[in-house]
Structure 1
């Protein structure tokens, strides 16, 4: 995994940056494509149900997706802390992530017995997410060293844009494959898994092509072993007010997602949404996630990450607010008498705004969860900062089942009110986040365009 060098001459900084931008964006987009093709709720859960697996096993897939991805990041941060080179630490786990999916494709393609697939799916998916979570920390640190600071926000935004575009196309293909019970054969799933393996393998290749600049050590930096220095940096990170405020904000935003799995259930049980409304909601969410990516990049680039984080919390608050307000508002005689009769009902068309907001929130979080820590963390403690915060959020991400408890005991009204209160608390907390840039930035986008086009 050594970087190839042109014989007889060294690359210019501009050419190296252009190559890093291209391969870095390709890496991010292909990772999203591969991940979407094995989506825990769109692909794996329907397959488990078709194979006769339990609902518990099907519901376990989203938990594995979040928890197993975040938990190894503290270990990764400890391992790579202050290492001069990072390509191998990001590359080999990335390859393991791809190879974990290959057996699924081959076993499904040859039509193996149901019980074989039912134990192989959670095993392979657990390995996949553990490897992906470990690779994330060194990959982000490698990209941070390789991409200049004044084009970094737009670079990560473009990774999100192209990733969202491929996710939208992949989502349409997967939804079409699994929507027809007769057409969703094991061979079809095997093809989907092999396509995911190919995308993840190509992503590993693109990541290996990004340059691996060495860490520039200051004379005051200690020469302790990486794990020892990471442990030594933990108290430093925990004492930083910026870390504590960001972690508090991110915890509240994560808790505000308690109602996310139940917006569709509310539409079906209370609003009478037909089965095909699920497809409409997914397409709206994917489209808005794609369309909002450049907008978030522009906001971060021009006004900074704190404003973007505040807007994300506001959009989070609007989701349960719409769910609470739309039914009584649209049933009000003054408004109801003026609404046209349509199929689907007008209330469902308005209700679909929730999924548009959801797509925008996911896109904004995907960008700011990367770029904001890169701005406020000290370079020498950055891996510990990112790894520790993500590992803490991994524990918080195991709380969404509490939403089901609230729903079972108190109903949709209390669930949405609790979610709204948590989102508003996140809005208030976002006001205490440190602001790194106080003046609009207008030069980064033009520089990245020059780098990308020359």
Structure 2
């Protein structure tokens, strides 16, 4: 009965979530963590360390708190109401950024920085607390064999609309004086996020009649130790994701390096952000299709290689034109190491084990998410940006090697923990 309901609403849920993701992407284009927000913060500090933390804080906030909600989610039969409540804290902070930008006229640089980073932390934690119920809902309403193309379509929709947001943001930054240009960008982002929330609320989720075998918090935490102890494949997958944070480390530095070293202008920043999003639009669909057809492991390895090549090109770049290729590689790599890795995580365990796998997979990676950009910022401040890029390239190659040698695609591995290697 549940499967028939899922199939009946699949096209509707597919369409509604693609539209929702599109508006989320539009907002992300107006307030890009890789280009727009770092550029905003660079007006108040020259610290590469602080600027490097900008994309890391949302990732850390997304990953770190997931185990705190995983045990409750594991016992839910209906996810949507929890998703809608928690995701408010993912979308509302962009309005706070608009207010902070306007306060530039009244407050000193230190206070602006403190408020900005506080809002980024709020937004990241909102993503983290809503992530497990959202991912569990998606895994429930979308059959396993279509998860790759579903996530790829969401990513494509988000990034296609991000292109529009990024191009408009570049024009706003050039045509309107500070701080009103940044304030308007963030205001547009908050409006798009409100529309995203509305369309997410239209999702149809059937109520499951089956209940989890996990009855208490203690049983849930005991199940985590069983997973880590018995599932060797998941352990190596998690280690690979830890190392992969090095490959993602230089993303916020590419724009700053191009601006400071080669004089890239604001309009070009908007264009290169659009190029990044367009690349992610196409690669999201291609890697999603690849993952459904040949397994997500291959798609993930491809992204690691793309990240390594991107970082190497940035380290070798003799002029600003090379950064168009840099951002193409970065777009492919970011989609793989974030989206494809998330889809692959959903393939570990059964329906009731899934929140535990999702929580473990993200929370255990959280320390590397914050350590990697700190390391990158320290290297950039004390040595140079090129060294940061080369360390990232090595990280991408190591991740690809570990995935290839030690990780088996979980889609083709028996997930009964009593049968896994000890």
Question: Conserved in 1, the CA contact under 8 Å of 2:300 and 2:341?
Answer: no
Q: What per-residue deviation string (whole Å, max 9, x for no partner) do you get for residues 117-159 of structure 1?
A: 6654333332222112111110110111011223222111100
**Residues 119/418 of structure 1: CA separation in 2 closer, same or farther (3 Å cut):** closer
Q: What per-residue deviation string (whole Å, max 9, x for no partner) do you get for residues 186-212 of structure 1?
A: 444443333322222222222222123
Aligned partner of 2:363 in structure 1 is: 391
Question: Conserved in 2, the CA contact under 8 Å of 1:300 and 1:307?
Answer: yes
Moved more, 100-109 or 398-407: 100-109
Aligned pairs for 1:170-319 within 5 A: 170-179=165-174, 183-215=176-208, 217=210, 222=213, 224-225=215-216, 227-239=217-229, 240-264=231-255, 273-276=262-265, 278-279=269-270, 281-319=272-310
Moved more, 243-252 or 405-414: 405-414
TM-score (norm 2): 0.83
SS in 2 for 1:247: helix
Aligned partner of 1:159 in structure 2 is: 154
The match for 2:336 among 364, 378, 400 is 364
Quote the Cα distance in structure 2 between the aligned partners of 1:92 and 1:119.
26
Aligned partner of 1:448 in structure 2 is: none
Quote the Cα distance in structure 2 between the aligned partners of 1:289 and 1:104.
25
Question: Conserved in 1, the CA contact under 8 Å of 2:52 and 2:252?
Answer: no
Quote the Cα distance in structure 2 between the aligned partners of 1:238 and 1:125.
31
Aligned partner of 2:374 in structure 1 is: 401
Moved more, 184-193 or 109-118: 109-118
Please state how far the C-alpha of 1:326 moved relative to its aligned partner: 6.1
Question: Conserved in 2, the CA contact under 8 Å of 1:309 and 1:368?
Answer: yes
Aligned pairs for 1:135-146 within 5 A: 135-146=130-141
The match for 1:77 among 70, 73, 92 is 70
Quote the Cα distance in structure 2 between the aligned partners of 1:371 and 1:234.
20
Q: What per-residue deviation string (whole Å, max 9, x for no partner) do you get for residues 207-231 of structure 1?
A: 222123334537xx53513x33431
Question: Conserved in 1, the CA contact under 8 Å of 2:313 and 2:326?
Answer: yes
Answer with 1 or 2: which has the greater Rg: 1
Aligned pairs for 1:55-94 within 5 A: 61-94=54-87
Aligned pairs for 1:442-453 within 5 A: none
Quote the Cα distance in structure 1 between the aligned partners of 2:376 and 2:103.
40
Gaps of 5+ in 1: 1-10, 328-346, 439-454
Quote the Cα distance in structure 2 between the aligned partners of 1:204 and 1:353.
34
Question: Conserved in 2, the CA contact under 8 Å of 1:43 and 1:178?
Answer: no
Aligned partner of 1:338 in structure 2 is: none
Quote the Cα distance in structure 2 between the aligned partners of 1:108 and 1:406.
29
**Residues 38/283 of structure 1: CA separation in 2 closer, same or farther (3 Å cut):** closer
Quote the Cα distance in structure 2 between the aligned partners of 1:46 and 1:114.
18
Q: What per-residue deviation string (whole Å, max 9, x for no partner) do you get for residues 74-119 of structure 1?
A: 2121331221111121110112333344455467679973358665
Quote the Cα distance in structure 2 between the aligned partners of 1:394 and 1:153.
24
Quote the Cα distance in structure 2 between the aligned partners of 1:33 and 1:198.
10
Question: Conserved in 2, the CA contact under 8 Å of 1:303 and 1:437?
Answer: no
Please state how far the C-alpha of 1:264 moved relative to its aligned partner: 4.8
Please state how far the C-alpha of 1:412 moved relative to its aligned partner: 5.5
Quote the Cα distance in structure 1 between the aligned partners of 2:396 and 2:36.
30
**Residues 279/68 of structure 1: CA separation in 2 closer, same or farther (3 Å cut):** same
Quote the Cα distance in structure 2 between the aligned partners of 1:324 and 1:57.
21
Question: Conserved in 2, the CA contact under 8 Å of 1:46 and 1:178?
Answer: no
Quote the Cα distance in structure 2 between the aligned partners of 1:398 and 1:411.
20
Quote the Cα distance in structure 2 between the aligned partners of 1:393 and 1:38.
25
The match for 1:424 among 397, 400, 419 is 397
Q: What per-residue deviation string (whole Å, max 9, x for no partner) do you get for residues 299-328 of structure 1?
A: 11211101111111211222233345665x
Quote the Cα distance in structure 2 between the aligned partners of 1:200 and 1:265.
27
Gaps of 5+ in 2: 413-422
Q: What per-residue deviation string (whole Å, max 9, x for no partner) do you get for residues 29-71 of structure 1?
A: 2223333333345444444555x57857666543432222222
Aligned partner of 1:435 in structure 2 is: 409
Question: Conserved in 1, the CA contact under 8 Å of 2:168 and 2:270?
Answer: no
Quote the Cα distance in structure 2 between the aligned partners of 1:413 and 1:104.
31
Quote the Cα distance in structure 2 between the aligned partners of 1:401 and 1:255.
10
SS in 2 for 1:24: helix
